[in-house]
Amino acid sequence: MEMTLLADQIERAFRGDSWHGPAVLEVLAGVTAEDAAAHPIAGAHSIWEIVLHMASGYALVLGRIQGDRIRLEEDQEWPSVQEVRDDLWHADLARLDQLNRQLVRAVGEFSPARLGDPLGSEFTAATQFLGAPQHDLYHAGQIVMLRKALARSRQQT
């Protein structure tokens, strides 16, 4: 498997220019801190919580590439929003963006000979690298639904 192809898929799922529909950054465009922290669907995570979770996922795989055998605790996998402020929201978006860039670069430089090797867990490097854009797009779909629910709740008030 060509590493640049894997890296490209991770980048497209996050930044766009793909056939599937909107990428992560596209569905996050225009989301305010207040909207990101809202819970328009009972029992569902907020957009901000999803962003923090996605960043945790990137950091997890990046750590595993560096040889760490990391497992996330629940509060690490799904961090909570500590305070709702625009500057904190934008900092978390910037962190997510930076982690995506790092993952794209790391995957592009990864040895194809190691794709079948376990990467810090029971999952192979290939499974985790293919899973990154799948994970992104799963959560992009959730964000779309949360934004629609938020818009509906505003129309009803």
Q: Give the CATH number, domain containing residue 50.
A: 1.20.120.450
82-113 pLDDT, tens digit per residue, is 999 999 999 999 999 999 999 999 999 999 99
pLDDT of residue 157 exceeding 80, the answer is no
- State the pLDDT at residue 1: 62
User: What residue numbers bound the domain in which 19 lies?
Assistant: 3-155
pLDDT in tens, 54-82: 999 999 999 999 998 877 777 788 999 99
- Tell me the percentage of the chain whose pLDDT exceeds 70: 99
CB 110 within 8 A of CB 66: no
DSSP three-state, residue 74? helix
Indicate the average pLDDT of the chain: 95
**Res 141: pLDDT:** 97
pLDDT tens string 21-36: 899 999 999 999 999 9
Q: Is the pLDDT of residue 14 over 90?
A: yes
Contact criterion met (CB below 8 Å) for 61 and 17? no
Q: How many residues does the chain have?
A: 157
Residue 124 phi, psi (nearest 5) = -75, 165
Total tally of structural domains belonging to the chain: 1
* Residue in 34, 27, 119, 135 with CA at minimum distance from that of residue 68: 119
